[in-house]
Structure formats: C-alpha cells, structure tokens
Amino acid sequence: MRRSVNDAGPRIFSIANQKGGVGKTTTAINLAAALVELGARVLLVDLDPQGNASTGLGFAPTDRIKTTYDLLVDEQPLVDTVVPTEFPGLLLCPSSADLSSADIQLISNEKRSFLLHDALREPQVATLSLDFILIDCPPSLSVLTVNAMVASHAVLVPLQAEFFALEGLSQLMLTIRDVRRSANPDLRIEGVVLTMVDSRNRLSQQVEQDARGTLGDLVFKTMIPRNVRLSEAPSYAQPVLSYDSASKGAEAYRALAAEVLQRNPIRHRFKEEAV
C-alpha cells in the first residue's frame, strides 16, 4: 500500500537515529523552541517511551494524562492528547513508559504502520494552526520509528561527531528506503545535523569533512557544539534558548532553525485568508 504525504498542512519531520546519545531529543526540543522563537507554531510529538522530550519541557510522568500511547494504541484524537507548554506557540504530545509495549500491542493491527500518519491528518488538527510537527523518535528502528517515517515529509538526522559516525547511518538509510518503497514514496532526508562538535578536536574536524564529502548538501551548515548549557537545560525542564539564551548552544539551534525555515518557509495562512 502506497500513500503520499504531499498534502496540505504543517511540515512533518521525524528526528531519528537508531543510535542513542547523539543529541536527538536535545535537537527535537531546541529546534522546536527555536522555530517558535522565529515565528512558527510547532507541535513536538514525543514518540520515545523514555519520554525525555516531555520531561525536558516540564512534564513529569504524573502530569501526562493522555499520551502518544493513547494516540496510537487506543486511537485517541490528536487534539485530545496535545497540551500547551510554558512556551507560547510550542505544543506537546507527551509520551509515557506505556509506549514501550506498543510494538507488541500493535502487531495484530493491520494499519499499525499508518496510525500516526492518520492521526496527524485528522480534520481537527487544522484547529491547532501548526506550521511544523517534529517527531522525537526512539533510538531504535521499531514500529514506532516506522510510524513516524510513514507520517513524515522528511527525516532530520542528528549525527554525533565521533569515530564511525557515518557507518552508523547505513541501517537508518535502509529503513528510509524500505519506507519509501512500501508506504511513503515521497519521504526524503531533510538533512543531517552534526552534534556534539568540538571545533578544536581533530576528530570532529575529520568527521565533518567526511560527512560533507559523503553527503554533500544534505549536511546542514550549522553544527551543534559541545556545550555545558545544552547539557544542563533539561534538568531545569527548559530548552537551552530560555535557560541560557546567549549560550553557544542556543545560538546554534537558532541558526539551525533559520536553515530549516529557509528550506521550508512558513505559510502566512491567516494573511492569505484575509486577502
């Protein structure tokens, strides 16, 4: 069964890498916050059973009434699971540990790979007036990650500046290819963002050179540095942009958001309607 996601509505990006510890959730939170700061309206969908994106935006497990588990397993409407955050323009669909059993519970569901696709395209979603939906995927190539890719227009890949970084991309690329063939022929790679970069480190320089030589323009110009403030911000349940607005980490995510917006300009839908 092949479906197209070339439809109207917000741009939908999966933030994915099957390797843990590469800055995936950090990128999801801070790119979302930076896009909002630049005028976009963003929904962050936490599809990781660890729920770190939800915690990083100030939602303790006991605060999460309805979650992505309810969205997928019980097929609750998206608008019933979305909650506002403390940051105007940034909405969250939180996660919970229950999501860790989703692979097993969805195995008999014939449309299991399309649950998130369909949920993000319900007519009521238009009432949220979203410009972007960012999906924080789990660090595995599970049915949850496949759901995210089937639902998305593109995949944004955080890539840690470390030895063998590029080799770790091969399985992710194969999964993207399989999703294109089976369910979402329009899925593309939005870009690869180098994370945890130490410009003084020869290894980081070599990884950047190799990545740009291999992937070309797929690699964002912006690189995310190793930054203490980026590491501290989640413990204060804030994006780094609000925790330390002047930090190098905050400036890097603003630059990344500007690149994303340059590639995907915001549609000024309200002005268009008024004309």
Q: Which pLDDT tens digit goes with each residue over 23-56?
A: 999 999 999 999 999 999 999 999 999 999 999 9
H or E stretch covering 159: strand 154-160
Q: Which domain holds residue 118?
A: 11-268
Q: Which are the contacts of 180, defined by CB distance < 8 A and separation ≥ 6?
A: 186, 187
Instruction: Enter the pTM of the model.
Output: 0.92
Name the pLDDT band for 272 (thresholds 50, 70, 90): very low
Specify if 1 maps to a domain: no
Alpha-carbon gap, residue 220 to 236, rounded angstroms = 28
Specify if 123 maps to a domain: yes
H or E stretch covering 72: helix 68-72
Tens of pLDDT, residue by residue over 57-67, are 999 988 899 99
Specify if 2 maps to a domain: no
In single-letter form, the type of residue at position 109 comes to: N
Query: What does the pLDDT average to over 197-220?
Result: 90
Q: Which are the contacts of 205, defined by CB distance < 8 A and separation ≥ 6?
A: 199
Q: What is the CATH number of the domain that holds 177?
A: 3.40.50.300
Specify if 94 maps to a domain: yes
Q: Is 53 helix (H, G, I), strand (E, B) or coil?
A: helix
Specify if 248 maps to a domain: yes
Q: Is 80 helix (H, G, I), strand (E, B) or coil?
A: helix
**Residue with tokens 């940051």, as numbered in its chain:** 87
Number of structural domains, the chain? 1
- What are the phi and psi torsion angles at 45 (to 5°)? -100, 115
Specify if 4 maps to a domain: no
- Alpha carbon separation from 82 to 17, 61, 221 (Å, rounded): 24, 15, 32
| In the predicted structure, residue 270 carries a pLDDT above the cut 80 | no
Comparing 166 with 233, which gets the higher pLDDT?
Answer: 233
Comparing 106 with 57, which gets the higher pLDDT?
Answer: 57
Specify if 185 maps to a domain: yes
Specify if 273 maps to a domain: no
**% of the chain surpassing 90 pLDDT:** 73
Alpha-carbon gap, residue 168 to 242, rounded angstroms = 32
